[in-house]
Amino acid sequence: MRLKLFIFTALLALVSCEVIIGQDELVDEVSGLFTIEGRVSPPDSLFSPIQGGGRSAPVNKNAPKWHTEITLSINDGEFKGFVREDGQFMISGVPSGSYILDVHHPDVFYEPVRVEINPKGKFRARKVNFVQPAQIMQVPYPLRVKPLMPFKYFQTREQWKITDFLFSPMVLMMVLPLLLMLVLPKMINDPETKKEIDNLQFPKMGNDMPEISEMLTSLLTGKQPEPKEKKPAPAVRQAKKRKDQ
């Protein structure tokens, strides 16, 4: 079997892939240092199912860089692990204890894992829970670290849309009464009620309207409205109203 492996590698002429990692277990026990092992899935494994199959997906030019971008560290770089081309990693020379393995990639979130090694060299891996440390949720060991989601660092800019504009409360507040004012009177078919409304509304409006329009015209043309003309106007209208009655 071993010979076969040798031939296989020789044929492939790849030196790197099939190297045996690690040392005899015996040495570990003597020195009291242990090796944490596992495998990291590359960050693009997160996107490949969406893109529909690995082959049709466009080749990510940054893909080979993930080996150097990803860091596996314990206690802020006291112990570190580096990723091989196939995603396997090992952190050697770790004394027994409880550690949090931080897997950090700048663009993709990997969940940290708590790894516990007892003095006999038994490994246990579990989910990190800072708030309730007594709650134990075990995960398989050797570790399999998978990307969870891409980091969302940025806010999306608001884009201007006509619907946003139309449904904004300000516009609604202005448009709805306008609609009511213009459309409602026309919807009423009965001529008598129409007349009634006409009679009810116009005198009131009439009192204000000329003044506003006059003010506007005076403002825009610069002419002072003559007070003499203004005073008889309501009187005329009042007379008109009486006539109607």
Partner 1 sequence: MQEKWLLAGLSVALLLGTCSALYEDQIKKFDWRGVNVGALKQSRVDLNHFQPRILVSTHEGVVASLCVKTGELVWRQVLEQKPRGDIKLLQVSGFSDDSSETAAAPMGSNLGFDMLTVQGHAPALVRGWNTNMGALEWEWSIMPINTERAQDALWIYSKSVLYHVLPAWRSHLEVTAYFASSGHSTGSTSKVIAPWITQESCTLSGTFYVCTEGKQLISLDLVSKSGQVIRTSLETEPKGKTQALMGLNGVVIVDGKPISVNKDQSICGGLQSSSYAVGSFNYRKILAYADLSSGILRINALYLDNCAPAADLEQSLVFPEHFGTPSLNNFDCKQKRNGEGKNCMFLFSTTSESIVAVQQGRVRWSREEALANVIDSQFVDLPLADSEGTLENEMKGKAGDFTSFERDIASAFLRRITTQAVQIRSLFLHVIGLGPPPTDTQRAGLVRDSFGLHKMLVLLTRAGKIFGIDNVSGKHHWQLYLSNVIGFANDEQMRLIVQRSAKHFPLQPLCTILGKNAVNGNGVLYRFNPITGKVAEGGLVQLDYKIKQLSLLGETENDFVKGILLLDASNKVHVYPEHATPLADGMYLYTADVKSAELAGYFVKYAGGQLSSTHIWNARLGGHNSEQQIIGVAGKNPIEHVHSQGRVLGDRSVLYKYINPNLVAFVTQAPDSTHKSVLNLYLVDVVSGSVVFTMTHRKVRAPLSIVHSENWLAYSYFNEKLRRTEITTIELYEGKTQANSSVWSSLQAPPMPLVERQSYILPTIVEALRETITERGITNKHVLIGTASGSIVEMPWHLLDPRRPIASTTQGREEGAIPYIPELPLPTESHINYNQTVARLRNIYTAPSGLESTCLVVATGLDLFVTRVAPSKTFDLLKEDFDYILISIVLVALTSGSLIVKHLASRKLLKQAWK
Applying CB under 8 A, which residues contact partner 1? 6, 9-13, 15-16, 18-23, 27, 30-31, 33, 35, 64-65, 67-68, 71, 73, 75-80, 82-85, 89-90, 92-93, 98, 100, 102, 104, 106-107, 109, 128, 130-131, 133, 151-158, 160, 209-210, 213, 216-217, 220
Whether residue 37 contacts residue 89, with contact meaning beta carbons closer than 8 Å, is answered with yes
Tell me whether residue 40 or residue 141 sits nearer to partner 1 (CB atom): 40
CA atoms within 13 A on the CB side of 184: 9
Residue that the structure tokens 């134990």 belong to = 136
Whether residue 214 contacts residue 208, with contact meaning beta carbons closer than 8 Å, is answered with no
Whether residue 35 contacts residue 28, with contact meaning beta carbons closer than 8 Å, is answered with yes
Tell me whether residue 160 or residue 191 sits nearer to partner 1 (CB atom): 160
Tell me whether residue 20 or residue 189 sits nearer to partner 1 (CB atom): 20
Tell me whether residue 4 or residue 53 sits nearer to partner 1 (CB atom): 4
The distance of closest approach from Cβ of residue 52 to partner 1 in the complex, given in angstroms and rounded to an integer, is 25
Cα–Cα distance between 105 and 46 in angstroms, integer? 13
The distance of closest approach from Cβ of residue 158 to partner 1 in the complex, given in angstroms and rounded to an integer, is 7
The distance of closest approach from Cβ of residue 38 to partner 1 in the complex, given in angstroms and rounded to an integer, is 13
Tell me whether residue 144 or residue 237 sits nearer to partner 1 (CB atom): 237
Cis-peptide, bond into residue 142, ω within 30° of zero = yes
Cα–Cα distance between 219 and 240 in angstroms, integer? 29
